[in-house]
A and B are shown apart, each in its own frame.
Chain A
Amino acid sequence: MSASVLFDAPGPRARRRSRIASAVVVVAVLAVLAWGIYILAQPRESGGITLPGFFDWSRWEKLVVDPEFWGAVGRGLLNTLQAAALAAVMALVVGVLFALLRTSPRKAVRIPTMIVLEFFRGMPVLLMMLFILLAFATGAFWAVVLALGIYNGALIGEALRAGIASLPRGQHEAGLSLGMTRLQTKMLIEFPQAFRQMLPIIVAQLVVLLKDTSLGYIVGYNELIRTTMNNLSSFYGNRYLFSLFAITLIIYLAVNLTLSWFARYLARRSMSGRAAKKIAGPADPNDATTE
């Protein structure tokens, strides 16, 4: 947002003021960071032993040089990605199914679907995971995958329905007048367009799905966070807890930022030419998803 409409291109005095304010902000941020680093670098007592600060090599050495450690982290990450991939496929299938039932011409189909959708959307995914885990005794992996698949399927279904609703009526009518059945019209004409239109929202929702696999930590699925914060921290000992947390955070940020960037790229591509100038900078596809 180099040229915002909210303020003029600054003159010399405004520029000076803005530079001073910027300097103050930078100093404040640096001060907070320095404080954080100072706290982390302090040696601390733990059970009668004084441990060196977190920037001391001894707090990392045993982890970083151990190939077994990276193997375990890799398996954790693989478990996370595996659950996310399977749940994503399922969410798409469930989403199409829900959208289909929700836009059915029959009231007897449409209204129960609406109630079921509201139910799934209104309760926490975590509760659904626990429910599947305990009531169907599926094991933690399937609890995570099924709950995420159904929950995100409900959200994607709503997105697809909105996409279909926004299509010109003529699309549906043209399909019918060509002699296609309602189902054919929906599958061959309406869904492909709705899907394309809603692609940024769907991809953003899939990023959320990936983040939500971390709930597996609570239901006992050995995904990345459970691997590092639970299994590896008890294997290597408490003194590595912070280092493990930092490594987990960096891996998650790397994976998620890549995916978010991809979502934004898709949005830009599908909006190119249509994007109007906005007051507060370019729109972000991730706006659409809040959880």
Chain B
Amino acid sequence: MNVVIDNLPAYLEGFGQTLSLLIISGIAALVLGTVVAAMRISPIPALSRVAAIYTELLRNTPLTLVLIFCAIILPYLGSELPYFWAAIVGLTAYTSPFVAEALRSGINGVPIGQAEAARSLGFGFGQTVSLVVFPQAFRMVIPPLINVLIALTKNTSVAGGLFVAELFGVGRTLANENGNAVVAVLLAVATFYLIITIPLGILAGALEKRFAVQR
């Protein structure tokens, strides 16, 4: 236990890195994912095709490989992005298709009659989506989106394993330095992750319950 208390500043620094990775790439992935989802349902076939291919390719590539691309291949090709931002790019690219799919399945949860009714009232594509479908999809999309963010929190650890000194990276260094207290060191790391993931999970569950009653 002493190891953990002595190294609390290092933990907090790692925790800060994890949080900033989570927040920056979370926001970026939400924006990019929304754009991809909008492309996916748009009337222009080329746009929806491009979005589908993007989703399919990124979802079937392991995160490790995406981050290796950012950490090893990009500098090799001459990019001078600092590691932290390279990790953000990788995490954003990897998370955005999951955001897009969560949004799409939320849209699918709206009964089809709603869209048909809007269309029969003479609404165009933009009006149907923004005034009728999206407001209803929104509430159903929140819990799955929170789940995507929980997954992102856990995925930041891969960036730590490769190159960024966030929580996992700090934990690994400490575990290597304190061979006799590995269990305590790593349990402390786990606790910091749980501080983020469990409240988010409870929030997702509560929102899900609340919205389920309303529909």
Q: Out of B62, B78, B129, which one reaches A214, CB within 8 Å?
A: B62
Chain B residues near A225 (CB, 8 Å)?
62, 64-65, 68
B76 touches A241 (CB 8 A): yes
Bound complex: CA A123 to CA B171 (Å) = 13
B-facing residues in A210-259 (Cβ within 8 Å)? 211-212, 214-215, 217-218, 225, 229, 238, 241-242, 245, 248-249, 252-253, 256-257
Number of B interface residues in the complex (CB < 8 A): 67
Chain A residues near B124 (CB, 8 Å)?
7
Bound complex: CA A250 to CA B69 (Å) = 13
User: With contacts A130-B168, A245-B68 known, what are 20 further pairs, Cβ within 8 A?
Assistant: A1-B41, A6-B133, A7-B128, A10-B43, A18-B45, A25-B46, A26-B46, A121-B197, A122-B198, A123-B154, A124-B158, A131-B182, A214-B63, A217-B64, A245-B72, A278-B108, A280-B41, A281-B40, A281-B104, A287-B104
Chain B residues near A10 (CB, 8 Å)?
43
Min C-beta distance of A18 to chain B, whole Å = 5
A-facing residues in B15-59 (Cβ within 8 Å)? 40-41, 43-48, 50, 56-57, 59
Nearest residue, chain B, Cβ from A8: B119
A119 part of interface (Cβ distance < 8 Å): yes
User: With A245-B69, A279-B108 given, is the CB distance from A211 to B63 under 8 Å?
Assistant: yes
B60 touches A290 (CB 8 A): no
Min C-beta distance of B213 to chain A, whole Å = 17
B161 touches A126 (CB 8 A): yes
User: With A123-B154, A134-B175 given, is the CB distance from A278 to B112 under 8 Å?
Assistant: yes
B61 touches A252 (CB 8 A): yes
Chain B residues near A215 (CB, 8 Å)?
64, 158, 161
B157 touches A252 (CB 8 A): no
Nearest residue, chain A, Cβ from B190: A123
Min C-beta distance of B174 to chain A, whole Å = 11
Chain A residues near B125 (CB, 8 Å)?
6-7
* B interface majority secondary structure: helix
Number of A interface residues in the complex (CB < 8 A): 62
A291 part of interface (Cβ distance < 8 Å): yes
Min C-beta distance of A249 to chain B, whole Å = 6
A184 part of interface (Cβ distance < 8 Å): no
Bound complex: CA A238 to CA B107 (Å) = 47
A276 part of interface (Cβ distance < 8 Å): yes
Bound complex: CA A47 to CA B106 (Å) = 52
A5 part of interface (Cβ distance < 8 Å): yes
B186 touches A127 (CB 8 A): yes
A-facing residues in B118-175 (Cβ within 8 Å)? 119, 124-125, 128-129, 133, 144, 147-148, 150-151, 154-155, 157-158, 161-162, 168, 171-172, 175
Bound complex: CA A229 to CA B65 (Å) = 10
Mask of A17-42 contacts with B, CB within 8 angstroms, 1/0: 01001110110010000000001100
B112 touches A22 (CB 8 A): no
Bound complex: CA A75 to CA B128 (Å) = 53
Bound complex: CA A127 to CA B157 (Å) = 8
Q: Out of A7, A126, A248, which one reaches B168, CB within 8 Å?
A: A126
A16 part of interface (Cβ distance < 8 Å): no
Nearest residue, chain A, Cβ from B105: A287
User: With A6-B43, A6-B129, A287-B101 given, is the CB distance from A127 to B77 under 8 Å?
Assistant: no
Chain A residues near B60 (CB, 8 Å)?
211, 252-253, 256-257, 260
Q: Out of A18, A126, A134, A256, which one reaches B158, CB within 8 Å?
A: A126
Bound complex: CA A22 to CA B43 (Å) = 10
Mask of A121-146 contacts with B, CB within 8 angstroms, 1/0: 11111110011001100000000000
